[in-house]
Every structure is written in structure tokens, then in C-alpha cells.
Amino acid sequence: MNVLVVGGAGYIGSHCVRQLAQAGHRPVVVDNMVYGHRAAVAPEIPLYDAQIGDESAMRAILESEKIEVVMHFAAYAYVGESVSDPLKYYFNNSVATYHLLRAMLDCGVKKFVFSSTCATYGDVEPPIVEETPQNPINPYGQTKLDVEHALRNIAPAHGLSFAAFRYFNAAGAAEDGSIGEDHNPETHLIPLVFDAATSKRENIQIFGTDYPTPDGTCLRDYVHVDDLSRAHIAVFEQLNQPGAALFYNLGTGTPTSVREVIAAVEQVTGMKVPTVEKPRRAGDPPALYADATKAKTELGWKVQYPTIGPIVETAWKWHKSHPNGYGS
């Protein structure tokens, strides 16, 4: 398949591009390079520096590259920033996506894979299934839910088939340590804990130690970035059905606490992680983890990294060899 991967120079997109190429598909990347890294994409893969909201640019790429399916990773994903600057998120994550979809339909491209998020659920009782009511508690989650709703309407009207994958916490890096996570600013727990272990930052702050969880800290569901990528390829067959409207949670289903992540980093790195305990942060639900039975049964999706230890090992391999990310 000729697959357009928008946001393909970012963290999850670049891992998916690599897996697509390994599986014999032909990925083509679009990224506006606001957060993307040229070095995350192999030099032989076409990379266009373009905005997904630029319909004429997108039409030109869709046509010249004979694209058959679009995978959409291009978004801003800083929850705090989405609260302070919501319009930036509504325009980039929702409105730009509608332009992309119109360009696709103009060009007759009718297969779409969308990166949605567990943030569409808000503060709910886990384990979270696809039917759990979605009530996002921040603009970021709302922008993703808005796109999900638009897709539900567009699919039957235009014969678009789509899968919306609701990722839980993406983590880890390619097995060979050659590509990995490099966000600036970084807000994700595992790279921040590495920075505390290696004295790049003074300590790691643990927000809330009195949650009703086994060790008092928040529980999250860390899912390996290559496991996420495999689901994107596994769904191709389902997209052959015109109008297919598919929603899947992608998580391991294994709840992991903040303290367990820190312990895993200490074990893998052999380094001590300095910690500071802080009060709970507003808007942090105690526990978020998936029931991903639907993806497993319908797509035959198999998680190859079900627990935190091996996920941290791959992340450490990347981090150790690239202490300053792609700028190393």
C-alpha cells in the first residue's frame, strides 16, 4: 500500500513509518516539522514539509504519490497548553484535520487511520472499554473527540472507512535504539525519570501519593510505540469495507503506578532516581487503563511488551545512546 503518514517525523509516526516499510508498504511522510525530526525518518522515505490544513499541498501529494491510505498522527498534544491556548488546538487538531479529509475525498482516498486518545474519556472508572462514555476534561481531548464525531458522519456520507485508535500512554523506542522519543518540551514520565536518574534534572516530582491505589500514586497504561504501530497495519484489512467506522482502545491493560515506573528505571539503569513528593495535580485521574479486548479479537493485535520493564529497557537503549535526543 502507498501510505501517507502525516506527522510521520514525530515520535509515534516515525516508528509506524519504519514498521510500514519493514512490512513491505511504501510510506510517504508529511510533517510541518514544528515538532518533527528529519533524522527520525530514513533518508530513502519521501518527506514533505507541509501543513495538513493546506488542501492544495495535500491534494498534490496525495495525487503524485498515488496514496491509498492516510495515517494521521499530526497534532499538538500538550494538555496544559491546550487549556491556556485552546484555539491553537481546535485549529491544528480539529480544523486542519477537516481540511485534510476534504483533500482526501477530492482525490478519492477513502481509507483513514486516526490517532485518538484515552484523553477523550476524561475521568472514568477503569478498565476503560470503547463504550465507556467520553467526557474529555481538557481541550486537547475534546479536539480529538470532535474529529471522532466528524468521522462518524463523514464515513456513511462519503464511503470513507476509518479506524480511530485511542492510545493510552505511548512509551518505549525501537528495539535497536536507533529512533525514540524526543519531545521538546518533554512531559512524558519515562524520559523525565531518565533525566532525573542521569542528573539532567534535579529530581522527579511525584504528584499525589494519597490516591486510592496500591502504592498511593497514579496508575497509567504504558503501551509500547511498536505495539501501537502494529495495530495500524493490522487494521488494513478492515478498511477494505467502505464506510467502516472502527474505534479501538490501544493499551496493554496493565495498570502501572508512578512509583513502579521509577522502580523499573532504577532497575534497568542501575541508577538511583531522586524523587520529591508533591500534592495531587488538578485534573489527574487516579487510574486510567484500557480494556483492549476489542483490538485483540477483531484485529488479532498482540501486545509484545505487556509490562513496564521491557518497555523501559527499549527506551533506555535509545536514551543512553541519544542523551540529547536527535540533537545528540
Ligand X SMILES: NC(=O)c1ccc[n+]([C@@H]2O[C@H](COP(=O)([O-])OP(=O)(O)OC[C@H]3O[C@@H](n4cnc5c(N)ncnc54)[C@H](O)[C@@H]3O)[C@@H](O)[C@H]2O)c1
User: How far, rounded to the nearest angstrom, does the alpha carbon of residue 187 sit from its chain's CA centroid?
Assistant: 13
Cβ atoms of residues 315 and 190 within 8 Å: yes
What is the C-alpha separation between 271 and 289, in angstroms, rounded?
28
Residue 275 identity (one-letter amino acid): T
Nearer to ligand X, 61 or 75 (CB): 75
Stretch of 67-75, 121-129, 259-267, 295-303 contacting ligand X, by CB under 6 A: 67-75
Shortest approach of ligand X to residue 215 CB, angstroms? 22
Q: Is residue 115 a contact residue for ligand X (CB under 6 A)?
A: yes
Closest distance to ligand X from the beta carbon of 1 (Å): 20
CB atoms within 10 A of CB 319: 26
Among 3, 77, 204, 287, binds ligand X (CB under 6 A): 77
The footprint of ligand X on residues 16-55 (CB under 6 A) is: 30-36, 51-53
Q: Choose, by CB under 6 A, the member of 58, 96, 246, 288 that binds ligand X.
A: 96
CB atoms within 10 A of CB 297: 9
DSSP three-state, residue 28: strand
User: Closest approach of Cβ 184 to ligand X, in Å?
Assistant: 9
Q: Is 167 in the site for ligand X (CB under 6 A)?
A: yes
* Cβ-contact 16, 228 below 8 angstroms: yes
Cβ nearer to ligand X, comparing 54 with 214: 54
* Whether residue 326 lies in the annotated active site: no
List C-alpha distances in Å: 263 to 76, 88, 135, 170. 30, 37, 32, 19
CA gap 195, 226 in Å, rounded: 23
The nearest distance, CB 206 to ligand X, in angstroms, is 19
User: Which residues are annotated as catalytic?
Assistant: 140
Q: Which residues bind ligand X (CB under 6 A)?
A: 6-7, 9-13, 30-36, 51-53, 73-75, 77, 92, 96, 115, 117, 167, 169-170, 183
